[in-house]
Amino acid sequence: MCAKYGYFAFYPRVFLGRALIPCIASARDGLRDVSDRAQRMETKRILLNSATESAIAFVYKRSFNSRIRNCKRPVLMPLIGYARVSTEDQTPLPQSQALKSAGCVEIHEEQASGGDRARPVLARVLERIGKGDTLVVVRIDRLARSLSHLLEVIERLEVKGAFFRSIQDPIDTASPQGKFTLQVLGAAAEFERALIRERTKAGLASARTKGRIGGNPGLRARDPAALRKVRLARQDGYMERLNETAQDWVPHVRRLRPDLAWEDVVRIINGPLPHDRRWTQSRLLRAVKAYVRDDFLPATVLDRAGPRAQDDRLPAIVAGIKGANPDMTLQAICARLEKMRERTPRGRTSWQPSSVKMLLERAKRLGML
């Protein structure tokens, strides 16, 4: 029941006399239970029944009972559980049961090392979590093994307006005590980093006095084999990062190049992407060249875009958007073009479905679809 009864406490006694006389608490005999006493305190010693609640809802245009349609129920934010085990021999079942008992509506399980920060399930959970949600773990070590990683995850949650809770540890960032504990941990982490920095500097200075210089001997000597090994390691890391985002840009490049200029391709690719995942033209060119070098894309995508008439540019852009998602509606294409800040054929900034339909028909006549 919504605790909003204070509004009618100041209305004239006429209303009380006509609508609430049968419900006066003093007219009832016998002992009241705890819920009646609590309700009587909130309603100025007036005990309500279903008829009275309906009358109040009619007079004040709002309901104080969850059974009535327009009652303002409290919004419960979901609890999202995360369970992790290190080896295949271990089972996440005890963690999942504890998370379920804690009220988690979603439970994500993962088999990975706690020292590995690039965990796909954890990354997906942090990407999907929203404002007001709470990430729940059984123990802190199930989320992170190092204090720096723990603080990094909690900082990402705070940026999104989400919270973190550990069942067996005194950490709940939704409460003042939990925030205080987190601040203490942050201060300890900063102190630990400072000590590590000082010890590293002292060790390097001691080694230099003894004639030892740190680093890879092959790189210091400019050994071709060592340089090639480092270069290949960097390329492998770069290709792994590209493979994680290949679904965002490879289909567009394969379909649109070299018919469209790189500037237009970049705008089409960035249309549905969030701000932190958008591409620049130089970064996209570097990625395409890497894929062409490894034969993941044909070399023709790097050909120079031929001159295109101004009348064919908009049909080509609309055809590219429609080709990436054939089920996209005309209104969705309008929103995408406005997000790309593409002007209509008449120079306006607001797009209409009729304009998009006309451009799609022109693209079909030109063989673009």
Catalytic residue numbers, as ranges: 86
Q: What are the residues whose beta carbons fall under 8 Å from the beta carbon of 354, sequence distance 6 or more? A: none
CA distance 208 to 69: 77
Phi, psi torsion values for 262, nearest 5 degrees: -60, -35
* Extended beta strands in 134-220, E state: 134-137, 163-166, 171-172
Amino acid at 174: A
CA distance 175 to 356: 51
CA distance 260 to 355: 21
Which H or E run includes 176? Answer: helix 176-209
CB–CB of 137/172 below 8 Å? no
CB–CB of 110/53 below 8 Å? no
Which H or E run includes 158? Answer: helix 147-159
CA distance 225 to 208: 26
Tokens, residue 93: 């079942």
DSSP state for residue 220 in the 8-state scheme = H
CB–CB of 266/280 below 8 Å? yes
Q: How far is the first Cα of the chain from the last one, in angstroms, to the nearest whole number?
A: 58
